[in-house]
Amino acid sequence: MRAEILCVGSELLLGHTIDTNAAFIATQLSRAALTCTARPAPQGLRATT
């Protein structure tokens, strides 16, 4: 099974804040046998990974 993490908030998407929650969530998904396949960002913005 696959999952995606959707991050919202301009402070995350513009890199003003480090998104530590996404790493935590991805780890928990992995432990539950889910594969995190993407972390999409809204059009015109880029993810801060």
Q: Give first-to-last CA distance, the chain, whole Å.
A: 22
Q: What pLDDT is stored for residue 32 in this prediction?
A: 93
C-alpha to C-alpha distance for 36 and 19, rounded to whole angstroms: 15
CB 1 within 8 A of CB 33: yes
pLDDT of residue 33: 92
Query: For the segment 1-49, what is each residue's pLDDT rounded down to a tens digit?
Result: 888 887 777 777 677 777 788 888 888 989 999 888 766 555 555 555 5
pTM of full prediction above 0.75? no
